[in-house]
């Protein structure tokens, strides 16, 4: 039986504003592994290792989770870090008015638990991961770059589908492949 590393996500169109932030982070010379622009997404549910014969069931759960959701608009704005500024692991862009995304994520999480996937322990935090910090090198310069975008409005985007993705980890970074797309 074949397995793949999977997650359910909303793809994000990268805008010039997002590219400017990525450039500013790069220019800080901090030890950050940036997410490739074509891979930027909102994770609704990380699945981990998935048996390929579960794809159809996962697809049905995705359909059931969004059956009453119409296409919607989301606003990307602000920046920050997880878990905190003293110990930075993740750099993110915020999502304004994320209630619909939270509703979809909770529904998927609840329904997938019936298939044996672990439920999320932490509450859902709608964000775009744009980089993972490896060491504290040039942390202050990184924080300055992030601070400049703290109240910045990056873009407004139309969301009309959610996707089941496969993640192949390579030395150059992950390669994401869409296995199923569910239209809203």
Task: Point out the residues that are catalytic.
Answer: 41, 127
Nearest partner of 94 among 121, 70, 130, 123, judged by Cα: 130
Phi first, then psi, for residue 39 (nearest 5°) are: -100, 0
Nearest partner of 19 among 84, 76, 98, 90, judged by Cα: 76
Cα 134 to Cα 32, 33, 138, distances in angstroms: 6, 7, 11
């Amino acid at each position: 039986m074949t397995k793949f590393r999977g997650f359910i996500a909303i793809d994000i169109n990268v805008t010039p504003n997002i590219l400017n932030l990525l450039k500013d982070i790069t220019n800080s010379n901090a030890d950050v592994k940036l997410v490739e622009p074509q891979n930027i997404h909102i994770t609704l549910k990380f699945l981990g290792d998935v048996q390929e014969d579960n794809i159809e069931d996962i697809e049905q759960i995705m359909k059931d989770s969004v059956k009453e959701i119409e296409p919607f608009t989301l606003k990307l704005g602000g920046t920050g870090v997880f878990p905190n500024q003293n110990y930075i692991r993740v750099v993110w862009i915020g999502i304004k008015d994320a209630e619909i995304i939270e509703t979809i994520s909770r529904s998927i999480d609840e329904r997938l638990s019936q298939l044996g996937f672990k439920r999320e322990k932490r509450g859902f935090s709608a964000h775009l991961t744009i980089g993972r910090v490896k060491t504290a090198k040039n942390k202050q310069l990184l924080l300055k770059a992030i601070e400049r975008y703290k109240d910045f409005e990056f873009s407004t985007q139309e969301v009309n589908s959610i996707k089941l993705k496969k993640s192949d980890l390579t030395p150059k970074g992950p390669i994401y492949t869409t296995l199923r797309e569910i239209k809203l």
